[in-house]
Structure 1
């Protein structure tokens, strides 16, 4: 778990460096090796590591628009994920999905930029597992700003009614984009949302990977044993802006400083030392994590860019036989949209 978390942290820090290349001093979102938006999850590492440590490849995970730490914890191929973020042909989706739409069927991982969008597919995966008489589970990660979305609430209801093996994990970093959570949500503890759907809810109050691991182990075990869904909220922190280029003028310096002091990686390192893991071993884990990140970034930057002629490959399906000429036109062009 420690190596996993260090990998995720270093990955985000290195992506930040690569992303800002060519975008300064005047920020240009279209410039540099990674054009477009980039949402980084530095400070969220304990959530992905603590939960995914309990999962298998055949378990499904859906992540939100801040997904890298979860993808790393689930075992998504680091090189192909990085190539996808850089928009390269060898990326997970041939460079067409970008960092908010990562998809790796080898480990049943997907994410989306739409708020709470991963909840319904996770419930679908849980329903499929139940119908197949499999003990596979599904986990949907979302932010605390997403818990008022209809997709989330409807998913809680269906998972409860059907007694599905789904774990919903709310990552509470205190900020819903630029709004403190108390200004947009009527409950301080998001796990209370479980009360309205007759399912267990629990919250981990500290950025503590071990505490998250323990709580997730109970929730995943309950789902795997056929005892239905759980809503779990875990405290994390945001060390960077909502997106790269966010100046965070809305956020007090005291809040930023307090978040940085709650470093889950340093907390876990202290736990390791308390259990007689020496500094040499810890440094070896850190070095291995850094090396894997650097190798993935170097590999990704060497990969070819997609051929523009392939832009419409994998996008539109062929029209069904017997379709009218108008149907064919829409299928070939994408219609007015």
Structure 2
């Protein structure tokens, strides 16, 4: 579509029964705040039929338009929200057809969380790079092998297609869209109003180790994995794990990678990161003690591993996710070089 300077950009939110309410209200508030600061946006809510739409939490939202009432030719930015109801919505032929028409003509096509499943049903191009909530990334990869699914970023831009991770990540996406349209100053003002990061540090892997977890298929490998989880800080060389499994080191290495999708050393490191995450959020040990107990040896090694794997430092992670204020001994300088 052609946008005329001074005219508001139409932001069309697609909702359905069982949508996640924050996927709608979070980005909607970002665009409305931006409009207060600089103008430029008009938001509409579209559903299969106009009228009340019940969210997954029971909140009722009034959809202004049904797909039979609204010509999508005026859509500038299409935002497809997520939620449990997407599994039914993506099989609604009329809704999918409207999303496909809107996507063809829109300047930008976006989704929040599992909304990408509805976009995919409407025909995302082969090879498009997308993200979604970490808990549904494998399903998306399995059902749409032509898409390049990256489950770590908070949001991904691939040309005119923007997709985001779960729930509050929709606000990160909306801020990026505002910055793309109206500049950094307006986006920063909106972020300040809403007490948000303009660019949130780290990716989804800082929130859940379920991103990588996979269960071994055979008893020997289960024995090795159980030993790792029982004491993450213990010595877990390939020879040690092979002894637990009753296999030769070479056989253990090959079967471990085949059954769990990554080599033993990488798996051990991720389990140690999980243990350190729990220690940082549930206790008040100094970083040196956490590092030793979880198998990293030194606070410096812990810091480097956190920064490489999670995109944040241990101190940042602790301050962000623990429920109480850090103790005085958590002042170790651990910012990345």
Which TM-score band (shorter chain)? under 0.3
Larger radius of gyration: 2
Q: State the TM-score, normalizing by the size of structure 1.
A: 0.27
Q: State the TM-score, normalizing by the size of structure 2.
A: 0.27
Q: Per residue, is there more helix in 1 or in 2?
A: 2
